[in-house]
C-alpha cells in the first residue's frame, strides 16, 4: 500500500498546466514521480491512464508537439502585425494593437484558419479585398471603430467563412452586394452599430444564413 507523503504544485511555463511532484512515504522502492497535469481547457484534450509514468510521457510529448507547432505557425504568419498559433488541428490568428485607416495587408499563405480576430485596435475603414489572402471559418471584427465597409471588402475571403462578427462598431451603411462572396455564411452579427438603411437585396446571397443580429 503506497501512502502519499506530500504534494507540491508549481506552475509550468506553459499556461494551463500544473506540475505536481508526488513523494511516496511507503512503497517497495521509495521514489518521486512528476506529473504534468493539465487544467482548464487543456484537460479536455489530455488522455487519461492508470499508469503515472505513461501519463507523464504522454503529456510531455503532447506539450512538446504543441510548442513546436506554435513556433511553426508563428513563423509563417501572413502578417507581422498578427500572432498565429496552432492548437492541435486548429490554427488561429490574432491581430492586436492596430491603429490605422484600414486593415493591414496579408501575404499569401496556405493556412486554413479556424478563427481570425482583431482586438484592442481601431480601424476606421475595411478596404476592398482586405482579406484576400485569408481563409478562415470565423472572422471577428468587433469593437474596431469601423465606420465604412467597402462593397468588395470581403471579396476573396474564401468559401470556408461561416461566421462574421461586426458588433460594436459605428457602421452606418451596408453597400448592396457586400456579402455576395460568402455563400456558406451561417452567422452574421451587426449589433450595436449605426445602420440607418438596409438595401432589400443585401442578404440575398446568404442562402445558408441561420443567425442574423441587427439590434442596437
pTM: predicted TM-score of the whole model, two decimal places: 0.66
- The C-alpha cell that represents 183 in the structure block: 455563400
Instruction: Check residue 202 and give its pLDDT.
Output: 92
Q: Of the residues 39, 54, 72, which one is the last residue of a structural domain? A: 72
| Same-domain status, 10 and 55 | yes
Q: What is the pLDDT along the chain (216 residues), one digit of tens a residue?
A: 333 333 333 344 444 433 333 333 333 344 443 444 444 554 444 454 455 666 665 555 555 444 444 434 456 799 888 999 987 789 999 998 888 778 988 998 888 999 999 988 899 999 999 999 999 999 999 999 999 999 999 998 878 999 999 999 999 999 999 999 899 999 999 999 999 888 888 999 999 999 999 988
Instruction: Check residue 51 and give its pLDDT.
Output: 59
Q: Which structural domain range is residue 185 located in?
A: 79-216
| Same-domain status, 213 and 193 | yes
Instruction: Check residue 144 and give its pLDDT.
Output: 93
Q: Of the residues 45, 72, 99, which one is the last residue of a structural domain? A: 72
Residue 195 sits in a domain whose CATH number is 3.80.10.10
Instruction: Check residue 60 and give its pLDDT.
Output: 56
| Same-domain status, 26 and 85 | no
| Same-domain status, 65 and 88 | no
| Same-domain status, 107 and 188 | yes
| Same-domain status, 111 and 198 | yes
Q: Of the residues 39, 56, 72, which one is the last residue of a structural domain? A: 72
| Same-domain status, 89 and 193 | yes
| Same-domain status, 90 and 67 | no
| Same-domain status, 86 and 136 | yes
Instruction: Check residue 84 and give its pLDDT.
Output: 93
| Same-domain status, 113 and 186 | yes
Angle at 101 between CA 96 and CA 103, to 5 degrees: 50
Distance between CA atoms of 192 and 107, rounded to whole angstroms?
32
| Same-domain status, 165 and 212 | yes
Distance between CA atoms of 17 and 15, rounded to whole angstroms?
6
Q: How many domains does the chain have?
A: 2
- The C-alpha cell that represents 16 in the structure block: 494551463
| Same-domain status, 127 and 166 | yes
C-alpha pair distances (Å), 15 with each of 37, 80, 88, 151, 174:
11, 24, 15, 41, 41
Amino acid at each position: 500500500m503506497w501512502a502519499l507523503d506530500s504534494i507540491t504544485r508549481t506552475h509550468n511555463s506553459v499556461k494551463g498546466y500544473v506540475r505536481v511532484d508526488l513523494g511516496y512515504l511507503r512503497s517497495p522502492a521509495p521514489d518521486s514521480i512528476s506529473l504534468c497535469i493539465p487544467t482548464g481547457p487543456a484537460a479536455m484534450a489530455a488522455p487519461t491512464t492508470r499508469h503515472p509514468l505513461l501519463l507523464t510521457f504522454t503529456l510531455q510529448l503532447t506539450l512538446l508537439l504543441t510548442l513546436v507547432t506554435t513556433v511553426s505557425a508563428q513563423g509563417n504568419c501572413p502578417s507581422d502585425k498578427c500572432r498565429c498559433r496552432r492548437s492541435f488541428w486548429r490554427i488561429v490568428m490574432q491581430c492586436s494593437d492596430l491603429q490605422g485607416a484600414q486593415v493591414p495587408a496579408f501575404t499569401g499563405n496556405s493556412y486554413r484558419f479556424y478563427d481570425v480576430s482583431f482586438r484592442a485596435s481601431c480601424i476606421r475603414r475595411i478596404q476592398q479585398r482586405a482579406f484576400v489572402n485569408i481563409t478562415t471559418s470565423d472572422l471577428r471584427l468587433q469593437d474596431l471603430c469601423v465606420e465604412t465597409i467597402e462593397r468588395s471588402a470581403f471579396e476573396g475571403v474564401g468559401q470556408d467563412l461561416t461566421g462574421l462578427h461586426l458588433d460594436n462598431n459605428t457602421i452606418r451603411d451596408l453597400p448592396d452586394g457586400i456579402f455576395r462572396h460568402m455563400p456558406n455564411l451561417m452567422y452574421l452579427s451587426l449589433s450595436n452599430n449605426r445602420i440607418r438603411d438596409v438595401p432589400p437585396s443585401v442578404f440575398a446571397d446568404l442562402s445558408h444564413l441561420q443567425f442574423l443580429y441587427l439590434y442596437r
